[in-house]
Structure 1
Amino acid sequence: MEIIEGCPLMGVPVPNDATVTAADIARLAAVGRAAVSNWRRRHDDFPQPVGGTAVSPTFSLAEVEDWLRGQGKLTDSPVQERVWQTLRAAAYGDVELADVLTFAGAFLLYLRADPGHWRELASAPDEKIAGTLAGAVGAHTDLVPDVQPADPVPLVRAVCQLVDELGVAEAFEFLRTRYLEHHSRRVYLTPEPVVRLMLELGGPARTVLDPACGTGAYLGMANEVFKNVEQLLGQEIDDTTARMSAIQLALRGAPAEIHAGDSLLADAFPGRTVDLVATNPPFNDRGWGYEELTGDPRWEYGLPPRMESELAWLQHGLAHVRPGGTVVLLMPPAVANRRSGRRVRAELLRRGTLRAVIGLPPGAVPNMAVALTVWVLRRPSPGDSPPDDVLMVDTSADPDNFQKVAANAWHRYLKGKPDGTDASVVVRIIDLLDDEVDLTPARYLPQRSAPASEGSFIAAQELLLTKTAELRDTVAGLSALTLTQARDDTPMTTIGELAKAGVLQILRPSARGSGEGTVPVLTLEDIAQGSEPTGTTAPDDDHVRVTTGDIVVSLAARYPVARVMPEGGPVLGPGLALVRVEPSRADPDFVAGWLLLGAQGARLRSSTSSARFDVRRARLPRLTPDEQAELGRAFRRLTDLEAALRETHALGADVLRLGLEGLGAGALRPSD
């Protein structure tokens, strides 16, 4: 970690009037957001909200720090949180948070290049610092944003304090990561184990290109793992992300050249070749440029079909590697067997360009509803004899060691030795060139079953014990509900009337079919079972995307569900409706509770399995905001109980299954 000593603050502390959300509090205490909700309910001395909305309240950071410290729960650095809030406060008017972060990164490049100049400048009055800083920073980097904070002095002093704690490069990495987590939906982070595996499959290399570099994960890792790296090239379609990646790589001393732009439509490196192209390209991109690029010379293996953008990225990578160079891409599994792409796949096989297809385990890349694959390709050199086989690897049976499984199979394949396990197989190219040209690894591997181990049983048992303890606490929280005299004179309204009044919106999913894709879709079964999204679809502007605080309602009377969504992201699937409440006018938990009552009533009234619940006709009382909030908290306690019971049941089923399998296989035995 590189620390710049003597990065003075001149006695000016970072402001401590910042506010934080429940998610920020969870990060400070290293717990889940549910734990923060529990603290708010169970501890009378927990800090009260100072702003925000009923769905997303904000709290005083100073008060939260004091409370967490008194409870012994403070694990993260309050300095980091205060600095982040200082950056957020600097974004106003025409200055966006991305501009503030980019300016902070440019300042860090200046600080890294000339710390002595800053030591001298920091002792000057704020007016002189403000007048001198832009020129000093611009002298060391061309990454200064066009729009800059009006008063940069508090910002750079705050950043300096973060540098004293983390170092220059890590300070920017912290700020950039926080920005990407909460303020950018356009960047998907590839996990480090997957990046490291892909570089191992393609290395060693002195020159590397990532044509869809995003946050620069592949280029940054290449700078670490490859010796004597000479050049790292990257292109990213989003200008802000490209600038941030360029700053981060420069702060780590990487010989990187990053450009903003669309690699397929506006290649920043025409005619330049490298040893290795490694990337996680966009999937299922309908607008990749099929019409504009029909006659492009990069399509050496055939014109990529309109719906096969992945095959365009693959050939773009091959066009940028030298003869004998390697291309390693992360791909969705459908690329291996779509009928539209079989001609290109066949040509890759005939020329000996495709060398391996490696299936990753489910969950290796989070937020993907399918298990992805890694394709390894090599650009043939003149005079090479085309290979006659391809390596197929399936790592799904050992998700904890998928890197090792894949790398061992690859290195033994290169040495001409069989892997010796049932995780890989070498398939003759002639056997792949049939009508389907299916390159799915699992198709060519024997079926496997992994017996449960004693360790997995013990781990599941411990999880069940933890969950049952939490369940007791959840049940105990219901003691706050007391019997009272029922009222029948409360005026009532309906969801439809509230929609007409603008208190809420009722949204339905698009009538068009989902098709193939990687955008997660929340299905009727998902919402009924309380599970993560299991459906997928291709990107479409007509989709209804779920956001935090939305109420998702089942339209099927046999599934009475109305759930306030803690997080957004997926799109709404068939059989569901979405009620989006204006938090300043109604409490979402209150509305969700009455929607659930209406849905249960529809189930009792239905005479067929196809009966529908009419969301607009659901009734609810007219109450004051305080009365709604109070009743909403009560509804939330009951839905928390439902979720806890469901999770406990699932964990109990796992313990039962693993116990039976362990006893049957002899991996478990009774102890005296």
Structure 2
Amino acid sequence: MPDRPEVTAAEIARLAGVGRAAVSNWRRRHPDFPRPVGGTDSSPTFALTDVESWLRTQGKIAELPLLERVWRLVETLRDPAGHPAVPLVQAGAVLLLHHRTPERWAALADQPDTRLATGLPRALADTARTVLGPDGAAGLRQPGLLGSTELDLARLLADLAAAAGPADAFEQLLTRYAEANTRQLSPTPPEAADLLAAVAGVPATVLDPAAGLGALLLALPATTDRYGQDTDPVTAALTRLRLALHAPAADPAPLPVDLRPGDALRADAYTGHTFDAVLCQPPYNERDWGHDELQFDRRWPGGLVPPRGESELAWVLHCLAHTRPGGLAALLLPPTVAARRAGRRVRAELLRSGALRAVVALPAGAAPPYGVPLHLWVLRAPRPGDDFRQVLMLDAASASPGSAEVAEGGRDRVRWPELRRTVLDAWRAFDLAAREGLPLPPDRPGRHRTVAAIDLLDDETDLSPARHVPPAAPLGGAAGFSHLGGRLTELLAGLDDPGALLPEPIDAAGTAPGGGPAGGGGPVVTLGELVRSGLLEVHSSGTGAPSRPAETGLTGTPVLTEQDLVAGSAPGAVLDRSATGADALPLTRPGDVLVPALGGGTARVVGPDGPPAGAALGRQLHLLRPDPAALDPDFLAGHLRSTAVARRAASHASTTTRLDIRRVELPRLPITEQRRLGAAFARIAVFDATLQRAAALGRTLTQAATDALAAGTAEPPPAP
């Protein structure tokens, strides 16, 4: 393991935002380019500090962001033959020290390296033992002596913790790790985790037998006793640290958190234990889940062993076996589990016992794999004498019946506030009736239906909601079609003439038609330089403001999410002011520019035609607040939507593109010229937003007409 961080030519290219060929040219053309310190002749490595110094001297990069410097050290500390996340465990332990016992770091920070190398491990071990208990601390496997690179990492983590807070700092590192290891990790997104937690209510104890990075456990309040298991002991250690960092620093220790390593199906760590709730997104399509060695396992009801190809049903039965009588289990499953013929007998047993209470079809993009519309299964462990045998079939994958838009799949298109209300309203009404013996809520065509278990027991026992929920009445009738058609006509009529929006070409002399100067070219300035000069403020939301769904209308401070910004829709959540620090969050003002942290070519100006003022920021958003006397907001937003600008300022992980906002370059132009260009950018943005609304309404109108004709509730129009 190197004493100091080293980078390859490809990593140097990413640092400078250039291609690898440019780095090769620099090595040939510049005799002062740093010499290789390792690697091979064909793939040399260079000292990161030397490379950074050279790049800054040449003006090829600005100061490397703090998070990027921390991540470089984490990557440097990875043992190629070991687990890639081991350095993250060490980083989490350091952040836990800052979270729970910051005075220990204050006493060590100014010590020389020789004393810090031995004193910091003792402080980390003491804090972990106090917060996580002896077993939890032992699972972190911290070294007793730290090297120079590890000390450098600890000092940078102190700066990152001071800037973002220990919990948010760890979240940023986990996000980078998950993005770089998508084949090994598929974290449940926080919105889906919050939905499962809301379905479970407020249990006293909860188990996640396939915890991963702990998203489902994190969605529960810190007062809940949380238990989990994961096959990877390093991932279990990361989850343990993540939960501890999100628990308030004043909570008594040790925390009620128990994460154990091991395969939950083959080596159940909680044999004989039951919990108030079990939440799980199990691994999918596993062939080698232990079918042969678990033939006589006590978790299978009546000795009914799940078929070899039905690993998901094995997880369902495992979760049910760990749910106390009357307790609830909720699992995210692929839709094929509801219909595969091999699993028919297990599904039938779940129906006969009364355990299965609801199957909810979610839209594609709700959770990984994002291209598949997953199902949420909700079960209650049977209690003696409970003869309730009804199942709620809920189709939340389609648009709301009677809505003006058609639901589209995709991670960024899921309307979580609406989806959450749809699922929770139907489930809570059904569950209350089941538990209290009240009349069941009426069916809602196109959305949900209560089906007797005996009616589902046939040759297929297909539990897909789409097969059992009656379709909504097609939107038809003269009034309905007239309203949609009139609204679409209004939108189309409101569009500017596209020809009036087309830019005028610039001649070879750099002059626009009419003799005016060209709008671009010339010297540029980065947003980082504008921030340092005081002409621009940048606020990054990180994990976002604490929010709650607007269950009964938007009363309170709205929280604008990344999905709201991309779709141009109104916020559907409000600020949870009971959370620590909620009142100190920045709120949007007219003239602010909002940009998704993951890029995507979206940038909107807060104002009458854009996002609302007075909103808090959800996760993964940048708020840019320019000085209007020196920087026009529409000019700034227009350049941020530019393909070339976004590409030059992008940093890439394996599956995402992240916008390094401070590297964005703008041409240096007088404010009058900025406003001239900004007005043109604003007209194009309004045209684009109107066109998107018209396209969505047009799809709704054509689908409604198709449905009405297919259902026989309308006649074709006269032939032209």
Pair in the same fold by TM > 0.5: yes
How far apart in 2 are the matches of 1:165 and 1:104? 16
Letter in 1 for 2:288: G
How far apart in 2 are the matches of 1:95 and 1:567? 21
Counterpart for residue 328 of structure 1: 330
How far apart in 2 are the matches of 1:341 and 1:417? 30
Superposition pairs for residues 230-309 of structure 1, below 5 Å? 231-253=225-247, 255-300=256-301, 302-309=304-311
The answer to whether the Cα contact below 8 Å between 1:232 and 1:257 also exists between their aligned partners in 2 is yes
3-state DSSP of counterpart to 1:233 = strand
Q: 1:434 aligns with which of 443, 458, 464?
A: 458
How far apart in 2 are the matches of 1:200 and 1:655? 32
How far apart in 1 are the matches of 2:66 and 2:241? 22
Q: Please report how far the alpha carbon of residue 256 of structure 1 lies from its aligned counterpart in structure 2 after TM superposition.
A: 1.2
Counterpart for residue 145 of structure 1: 141
Whether 1:423 and 2:447 are equivalent positions in the alignment is yes
Counterpart for residue 614 of structure 1: none
Q: Please report how far the alpha carbon of residue 61 of structure 1 lies from its aligned counterpart in structure 2 after TM superposition.
A: 5.9
Counterpart for residue 403 of structure 2: none
The answer to whether the Cα contact below 8 Å between 1:277 and 1:317 also exists between their aligned partners in 2 is yes
More displaced stretch, 83-92 vs 432-441? 83-92
Structure 1 residues 115, 203: closer, same or farther in 2, change over 3 A? same
TM-score by length of 2: 0.55
How far apart in 2 are the matches of 1:394 and 1:121? 54
Superposition pairs for residues 99-498 of structure 1, below 5 Å? 99-141=86-128, 142=137, 143-145=139-141, 150-151=147-148, 152-183=150-181, 185-223=183-221, 228-229=223-224, 231-253=225-247, 255-300=256-301, 302-397=304-399, 398=407, 399-400=414-415, 401-414=418-431, 415=433, 416-418=440-442, 420=444, 422-447=446-471
Q: Percent identity among equivalent residues?
A: 35
Q: Please report how far the alpha carbon of residue 367 of structure 1 lies from its aligned counterpart in structure 2 after TM superposition.
A: 3.6
3-state DSSP of counterpart to 1:140 = helix
3-state DSSP of counterpart to 2:85 = helix
Letter in 2 for 1:395: A
Superposition pairs for residues 557-596 of structure 1, below 5 Å? none
Q: Please report how far the alpha carbon of residue 86 of structure 1 lies from its aligned counterpart in structure 2 after TM superposition.
A: 2.2
Structure 1 residues 199, 119: closer, same or farther in 2, change over 3 A? same
Structure 1 residues 406, 55: closer, same or farther in 2, change over 3 A? farther
1:350-382 per-position Cα deviation (integer Å, ceiling 9, x unaligned): 111100000011222244442110000000112
Counterpart for residue 72 of structure 2: 85
1:123-180 per-position Cα deviation (integer Å, ceiling 9, x unaligned): 2211011122222222232244366753332121111111111112222222222122
Structure 1 residues 130, 662: closer, same or farther in 2, change over 3 A? closer
The answer to whether the Cα contact below 8 Å between 1:395 and 1:405 also exists between their aligned partners in 2 is no
Structure 1 residues 274, 366: closer, same or farther in 2, change over 3 A? closer
1:34-92 per-position Cα deviation (integer Å, ceiling 9, x unaligned): x988xx9xxx9xx999999999999966788899999xxx9x98111112112222335
Q: Please report how far the alpha carbon of residue 661 of structure 1 lies from its aligned counterpart in structure 2 after TM superposition.
A: 4.8
The answer to whether the Cα contact below 8 Å between 1:19 and 1:61 also exists between their aligned partners in 2 is no
3-state DSSP of counterpart to 2:220 = helix
Structure 1 residues 320, 276: closer, same or farther in 2, change over 3 A? same
Q: Please report how far the alpha carbon of residue 210 of structure 1 lies from its aligned counterpart in structure 2 after TM superposition.
A: 0.2
Letter in 1 for 2:278: V
How far apart in 1 are the matches of 2:489 and 2:378? 33
3-state DSSP of counterpart to 2:127 = coil
Counterpart for residue 686 of structure 2: none
Structure 1 residues 144, 412: closer, same or farther in 2, change over 3 A? closer
Letter in 2 for 1:172: F
Q: Please report how far the alpha carbon of residue 396 of structure 1 lies from its aligned counterpart in structure 2 after TM superposition.
A: 2.5
Counterpart for residue 476 of structure 1: none
Letter in 2 for 1:347: E
Letter in 1 for 2:155: R
How far apart in 2 are the matches of 1:384 and 1:422? 30
More displaced stretch, 653-662 vs 316-325? 653-662
How far apart in 2 are the matches of 1:303 and 1:456? 60
How far apart in 1 are the matches of 2:264 and 2:317? 12
How far apart in 1 are the matches of 2:318 and 2:290? 13
How far apart in 2 are the matches of 1:67 and 1:17? 20
TM-score by length of 1: 0.59
Structure 1 residues 333, 65: closer, same or farther in 2, change over 3 A? farther
Structure 1 residues 313, 666: closer, same or farther in 2, change over 3 A? closer
Counterpart for residue 568 of structure 2: none
1:561-609 per-position Cα deviation (integer Å, ceiling 9, x unaligned): xxxxx9979xxxxxxxxxxxxxxxxxxxxxxxxxxxxxxxxxxxxxxxx
How far apart in 1 are the matches of 2:218 and 2:179? 19
Structure 1 residues 220, 456: closer, same or farther in 2, change over 3 A? farther
How far apart in 1 are the matches of 2:159 and 2:71? 11
Letter in 2 for 1:393: D
CA RMSD of aligned residues (A): 4.7
3-state DSSP of counterpart to 2:186 = coil
Q: Please report how far the alpha carbon of residue 241 of structure 1 lies from its aligned counterpart in structure 2 after TM superposition.
A: 0.9
Number of aligned residues: 455
Letter in 1 for 2:426: A
The answer to whether the Cα contact below 8 Å between 2:285 and 2:311 also exists between their aligned partners in 1 is yes
Structure 1 residues 388, 371: closer, same or farther in 2, change over 3 A? closer
How far apart in 1 are the matches of 2:653 and 2:6? 27
How far apart in 2 are the matches of 1:665 and 1:298? 47
Q: Please report how far the alpha carbon of residue 113 of structure 1 lies from its aligned counterpart in structure 2 after TM superposition.
A: 3.2
3-state DSSP of counterpart to 2:206 = strand
1:172-227 per-position Cα deviation (integer Å, ceiling 9, x unaligned): 22222212211463111112221111121222211110000000000011126xxx
How far apart in 2 are the matches of 1:66 and 1:353? 68
How far apart in 1 are the matches of 2:88 and 2:11? 23
Q: Please report how far the alpha carbon of residue 266 of structure 1 lies from its aligned counterpart in structure 2 after TM superposition.
A: 0.6
Q: Please report how far the alpha carbon of residue 433 of structure 1 lies from its aligned counterpart in structure 2 after TM superposition.
A: 0.7
How far apart in 2 are the matches of 1:660 and 1:115? 58
Structure 1 residues 282, 457: closer, same or farther in 2, change over 3 A? farther
The answer to whether the Cα contact below 8 Å between 1:22 and 1:36 also exists between their aligned partners in 2 is no
Structure 1 unaligned spans of 5+: 1-14, 29-34, 474-565, 570-650, 668-672
3-state DSSP of counterpart to 1:257 = strand
Structure 1 residues 354, 242: closer, same or farther in 2, change over 3 A? same
Structure 2 unaligned spans of 5+: 129-136, 248-254, 400-406, 408-413, 434-439, 476-480, 507-651, 656-688, 706-720
The answer to whether the Cα contact below 8 Å between 1:17 and 1:62 also exists between their aligned partners in 2 is no
More displaced stretch, 357-366 vs 281-290? 357-366
How far apart in 2 are the matches of 1:312 and 1:456? 54
How far apart in 1 are the matches of 2:361 and 2:703? 28
